[in-house]
Amino acid sequence: MLEIKELTKEYGTGELCIKALDNVSLVIEAGDILAITGKSGSGKTTLLKMIGGIDYPTDGSVLYGEKNLSDYSNSEILQYRNRVVGFVFQDFKLVEELSVEENIGVPAKIAKTKIDEEYYQTIIENLELGGIERKFPNALSGGQQQRVAIARALINKPRMLLCDEPTGNLDKETGNHVIELLFHIRKLFQTTIIIVTHDSEIAGRCDKIVELSDGHIVS
């Protein structure tokens, strides 16, 4: 379970201060698929960064395992980012010089851990990446690149998958396929999945929806 308590994030000071998040509280249960919605600038990506330990709040807390992420040591927060959460970005963020197989293995290499080959093959099979593992990103379609990005996010067996507009650069049919895969991943691995999205159809399929407006939860 992840608990967010009275979370506030401010950028700048004085008259230039912007509150990206303002007193946000939320509980995310293990195995949930949660959609975070709202207009551009509402605080969606900021909230995802706080959950992922990429950025820290001005006030409030993000509790994982009853411990505030702000109290983690440098080594603990690095391990949290690498092992507890997996990140999926709108623009894929694949390394162009690395093959599909090498891109997928990057988090394991950073963690200095050996890849579980049986688990790896399960990911490859379920994300339909068989046969393209030696290819490079510039030879892949947008849908294939996003599936590689999801595989990379999963390779260290994270408990949470954080997806920032995962279908934003895809056509509707390909985007729907990616969402189907995310639901399949939850079923396979009991992964908690948090999806930032503008798409009301995608949000409507999730277990829970949190809508943000000007840094506040409005529904």
Q: What is the CATH number of domain 2-217?
A: 3.40.50.300
> Can you give the pLDDT at residue 4?
96
> Can you give the pLDDT at residue 65?
84
Length of the chain: 219
* Burial grade of 20 (CB within 10 A; 0-12, 13-18, 19 or more): buried
Q: Locate the domains of the chain by residue range.
A: 2-217
Taking only the tens of pLDDT, the chain with its 219 residues reads 899 999 999 998 888 889 999 999 999 999 999 999 999 889 999 999 999 999 999 999 999 988 999 999 999 999 999 999 999 988 899 999 999 999 999 999 999 999 999 999 999 999 999 999 999 999 999 999 999 999 999 999 999 999 999 998 888 888 888 899 999 999 999 999 999 998 999 999 999 999 999 999 998
Residue type, 121: Q
Cβ distance 194 to 45 under 8 Å?
no
The upper half-sphere exposure of residue 189, i.e. CA atoms within 13 Å in the direction of its Cβ, equals 23
Residue whose C-alpha is closest to residue 61's, from 36, 26, 87, 13: 26
Output the CA torsion sign for 165, 209, 63, 216: positive
What is the spatial distance between Cα 52 and Cα 81, in angstroms, rounded to a whole number?
A: 6
* Whole-structure pTM value: 0.93
> Can you give the pLDDT at residue 2?
94
Residue whose C-alpha is closest to residue 47's, from 16, 73, 26: 26
**H-assigned helices in the chain:** 44-52, 74-79, 100-111, 117-126, 142-154, 172-189, 200-205
